[in-house]
Structure formats: structure tokens, C-alpha cells
């Protein structure tokens, strides 16, 4: 017992120092200055930001990073129940971010949040902040760096033109995207960049190996090509999953309309404000005032109808998804080109093997004809080697011409068979 109790503080201290260094590296922006850490009372889990406190990890809790629209961030340790209460998403959607579905690609829109599970990026996005799962992983760091580079600058522009986002619906192409779309765009950009780099590495390794295999068919080269094919199959499946998910969203405008979290929040605020104004304006002041209030109510609801976006207005998200769908389609075509090159190399090898097989068959045919012609000499020799008295045995100077004549006849038979095979294109000489 004493031995174990002496090792525990050292192990805990090493883990604490390791996580502290990773968190400080993660929370430092590109400029090298420490980023502001939001330690508001909203974050009830144990905060592991710049000021690291040693808190015993709860059972089932995982590491999350909270990143809001102003660029502030903090690292939290939360369990599933706390994340569900915080974000308002169902438990079944939170399972999508678990290890079981880590190889799948899903983008789910709910009433108050968007669940993103793309490759190594697993996050929950709402109109004000994003929760990133496992932010200390090396694959997630590029995504966090992109968020630090783009989100603060965009939100400043968005704050200066906030009124235009609500009232000016005619300039939809010029206004800044809402926060949830900015995060989704950065996630798709990081995923497409990662997949593109993987395909580039595959192309750099595949073409020389395939050219070497075409020149020299050996076990080593065949093993290398087999490894490349397995990598290609897994990479193609990853690209196809992300592409299919985006295509599924593009095929349904209703699903895309649920992604407008900021729009729904603005609509709810406008509706609540209009209902409060209309309630205050309706007071008992005679018949004329009642008619005036009713007209004012109709005018107020009409103005609300002009400011509220159409349910089918999904042009911004559609253009965003189409851009990355085309990019994924290009990456997919590149990997299909590598697969076609592998197939062409295999076809070329099969043709070579077929040609070699035909040459062996021809050699076998020639040897068979030679064996048939030579077997006649063996037959004659076997016949005269028997202990049978023949008058030819006593004839002088007959053995040489007799043997020579039979050998010439055997050679003539062989040449006749070879000419017949050549005439019918059975051999290529």
C-alpha cells in the first residue's frame, strides 16, 4: 500500500503538467500573446484554461473547448448530462460524437444547435459559441487555429453592420455569414484541405511504385501496390462519406433551413418585441382608438413579415455547401484517377502475363511435336533391340544408313508438324 501511495502523486503531477503545457499551447493565439479566458459562471464544469486547477476528473467526463464569437476560449471537462443541459440537444445526437460513430460523417441541425461530426472535427455549434470535443488532439489544432484567425475579424464586421443583417434582405449576398455558418465553413475547409493533402501524398507515392511494377514484377513491388490500394480504399470511403452528407443536405431545403440558428433567434426576438408592443398599444380608448390600434397592429405585423426571412430562403447555405461539394468532387476525381491508373497497370500486367503464358504454351507445343518425332526413333531402336533373329543383323554396312534414314524421317515429320502449326497460327516464330 505504501508503495502505491508513493507513485500516485507523481503520476498525477506528470499528467497535470502535460495537460497544462498542451492547454497553454492551445489557448495561445497566432500572435503569441495569451488569449482571454472566459471564466463566467455559465461554465459550471472544472475549467482547465490558463489557470489550471487540479480537479479530480469525473466519471464519463471528456475534454471540451468552448470558443465564442468574440474569440474568447476556455477548456472544460464535462460529462454528457452537463453538455445536454448546456446545449439542449438530445442524448442520441450526442452519441454521434462518441467513439462508435467516429468514422462516420454527420451534420445535424437541431432547434438550438448544430452537431458537426466531420472526420476528426467533432463539435456542437449554436449562434453564439462552439464546443469542440478533444481540442488537444493534433488533428483538431488546425481547426482551432483557423477559428482564431477568422472568427474575431468577421464578428467585428458583423457587429458594425448588425442592423443591415436584420432589415436589408435585398443584399443577402453581400452581408456576412452568421456565426454558425462561419464555423461550418471553417470545418469544411479544414476537412477538405486534410483530404486533399492525403490524396496528394497518395499520388506522390502511387505513381512511381506503379511505374516500377510495370517494369519489374516482383513480390516487393506487389506488396507496395497492395498497401497503396488499401490506403486508397479507406481514403475514398472517407471522401465519399463527407460528400454524401453534403449532397444529402443540398437535396432538402427544409433540412438546410434548420441550420439558420441566428435567423431563428432574430425571428423569435422580433416576434416577442412585436407582441409586447401590440399588447401595450391595445388599451380601451373608444371606438376610434380601437380602429386605430387595429390598423396599427396590422401595419406592425406586416413590417414583421418583411423583416422575417422566408422559410425556403437557403441561398447562403446552399452556395456554401455547393462550393465545398465541388471541391470534394474534385478530390474524389483525383483519387479515382489514381484508382484508374492502378487498374490500367493491372490490366497491363495481365496482358504481359497472358503473353508469357502463350509463349509457354507454344514452347510446350513445339516440345510435344519434337517428342513425337523422336519417339519414332526410340520405337525403331526398341524394336531392333529385341532378341529376335532378323536377316538384317548379318548384313554388312547397313546400320549407319538405316539409323540415318529413320532420323531424317523423324526430322521431316517434326518439320511438317511445325509448318502445320505455323500455317494455322498456333505458334509465333
Model pLDDT for residues 94-106, shown as the tens digit of each residue: 888 877 666 778 8
End-to-end CA gap in the chain: 87
Lowest mean pLDDT of 231-240, 260-269, 289-298, 409-418, name the range. Answer: 289-298
Q: What percent of the chain has pLDDT over 90?
A: 28
pLDDT at 170: 39
pLDDT at 340: 95
- What's the pLDDT band for 422 if we cut at 50, 70, 90? confident
Between 350 and 161, whose confidence is greater? 350
Between 156 and 369, whose confidence is greater? 369
Contacts (Cβ under 8 Å, ≥6 apart) of 242: 105, 118, 119, 191, 195, 328
Which three three-digit cell numbers place residue 203?
499520388
pLDDT at 153: 57
Task: Annotate 229-279 with DSSP letters as a single string.
Answer: HHHHHHHHHHHHHHHHHHHHHHT-HHHHHTT-HHHHHHHHHHHHHHHHHHH
Contacts (Cβ under 8 Å, ≥6 apart) of 65: 26, 73, 74, 75, 76, 131, 132, 135, 144
- What's the pLDDT band for 414 if we cut at 50, 70, 90? confident
Q: In Å, how far are 52, 172, 399, 420 from 58, measured between CA atoms?
A: 16, 46, 106, 88
Greatest CA span in the chain, whole angstroms? 157
| pLDDT higher than 50, residue 42 | no
Quote the CA–CA distance of 154 and 32 in Å, as a whole number: 20
Contacts of 410-416 spanning 24+ positions with Cβ under 8 A: 410/373, 410/374, 410/376, 410/377, 411/373, 413/372, 413/373, 413/376, 414/369, 414/370, 414/372, 414/373
Contacts (Cβ under 8 Å, ≥6 apart) of 142: 190, 193, 194
Quote the CA–CA distance of 165 and 291 in Å, as a whole number: 33
Task: Annotate 118-141 with DSSP letters as a single string.
Answer: ETTEEEEE-SSEEEEESTTSTTTH
Q: In Å, how far are 103, 272, 276, 281, 379 from 295, measured between CA atoms?
A: 58, 19, 16, 11, 124
pLDDT at 196: 94
Quote the CA–CA distance of 177 and 344 in Å, as a whole number: 45
Quote the CA–CA distance of 361 and 248 in Å, as a whole number: 55
Quote the CA–CA distance of 381 and 375 in Å, as a whole number: 10
Residue-averaged pLDDT of the chain: 75
- State whether residue 304 is helix, strand or coil: helix
Which residue's entry shows cell 510446350? 364
pLDDT in tens, 149-166: 888 755 444 445 444 444
| pLDDT higher than 50, residue 12 | no
pLDDT in tens, 119-145: 889 999 988 889 999 898 998 999 999
Amino acid at each position: 500500500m505504501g508503495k502505491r501511495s508513493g507513485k500516485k502523486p507523481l503520476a498525477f503531477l506528470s499528467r497535470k503538467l502535460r495537460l497544462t503545457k498542451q492547454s497553454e499551447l492551445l489557448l495561445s493565439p497566432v500572435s503569441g500573446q495569451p488569449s482571454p479566458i472566459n471564466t463566467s459562471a455559465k461554465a459550471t464544469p472544472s475549467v482547465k484554461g490558463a489557470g489550471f486547477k487540479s480537479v479530480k476528473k469525473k466519471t464519463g467526463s471528456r475534454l471540451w473547448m468552448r470558443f465564442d464569437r468574440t474569440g474568447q476560449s476556455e477548456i472544460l471537462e464535462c460529462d454528457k448530462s452537463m453538455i445536454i443541459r448546456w446545449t439542449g440537444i438530445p442524448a442520441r445526437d450526442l452519441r454521434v460524437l462518441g467513439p462508435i460513430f467516429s468514422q462516420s460523417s454527420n451534420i445535424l441541425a437541431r432547434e438550438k444547435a448544430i452537431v458537426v461530426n466531420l472526420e476528426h472535427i467533432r463539435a456542437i455549434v449554436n449562434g453564439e459559441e462552439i464546443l469542440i470535443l478533444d481540442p488537444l488532439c493534433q488533428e483538431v489544432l488546425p481547426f482551432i487555429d483557423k477559428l482564431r484567425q477568422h472568427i474575431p475579424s468577421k464578428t467585428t464586421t458583423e457587429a458594425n453592420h448588425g442592423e443591415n443583417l436584420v432589415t436589408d434582405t435585398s443584399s443577402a449576398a453581400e452581408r456576412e455569414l452568421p456565426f454558425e455558418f462561419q464555423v461550418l465553413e471553417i470545418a469544411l475547409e479544414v476537412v477538405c484541405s486534410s483530404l486533399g493533402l492525403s490524396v496528394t501524398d497518395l499520388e506522390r507515392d502511387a505513381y512511381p511504385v506503379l511505374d516500377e511494377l510495370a517494369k519489374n514484377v516482383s513480390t516487393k513491388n506487389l506488396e507496395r501496390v497492395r498497401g497503396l490500394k488499401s490506403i486508397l480504399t479507406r481514403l475514398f470511403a472517407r471522401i465519399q462519406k463527407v460528400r454524401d452528407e453534403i449532397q444529402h443536405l443540398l437535396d432538402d431545403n427544409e433540412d438546410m433551413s434548420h441550420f439558420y440558428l441566428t435567423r431563428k433567434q432574430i425571428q423569435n426576438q422580433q416576434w416577442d418585441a412585436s407582441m409586447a408592443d401590440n399588447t401595450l398599444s391595445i388599451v380601451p380608448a373608444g371606438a376610434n382608438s380601437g380602429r386605430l390600434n387595429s390598423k396599427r397592429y396590422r401595419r406592425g405585423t406586416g413590417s414583421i413579415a418583411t423583416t422575417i426571412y422566408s422559410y425556403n430562403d437557403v441561398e447562403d447555405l446552399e452556395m456554401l455547401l455547393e462550393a465545398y461539394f465541388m471541391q470534394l468532387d474534385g478530390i474524389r476525381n483525383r483519387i479515382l484517377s489514381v484508382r484508374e491508373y492502378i487498374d490500367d497497370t493491372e490490366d497491363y500486367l495481365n496482358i504481359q502475363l497472358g503473353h508469357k503464358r502463350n509463349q509457354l504454351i507454344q514452347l510446350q507445343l513445339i516440345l510435344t511435336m519434337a517428342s513425337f518425332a523422336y519417339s519414332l526413333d526410340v520405337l525403331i531402336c526398341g524394336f531392333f533391340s529385341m532378341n529376335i533373329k532378323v536377316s538384317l543383323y548379318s548384313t554388312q554396312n547397313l546400320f549407319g544408313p538405316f539409323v540415318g534414314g529413320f532420323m531424317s524421317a523423324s526430322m521431316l515429320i517434326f518439320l511438317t508438324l511445325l509448318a502445320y502449326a505455323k500455317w494455322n497460327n498456333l505458334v509465333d516464330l
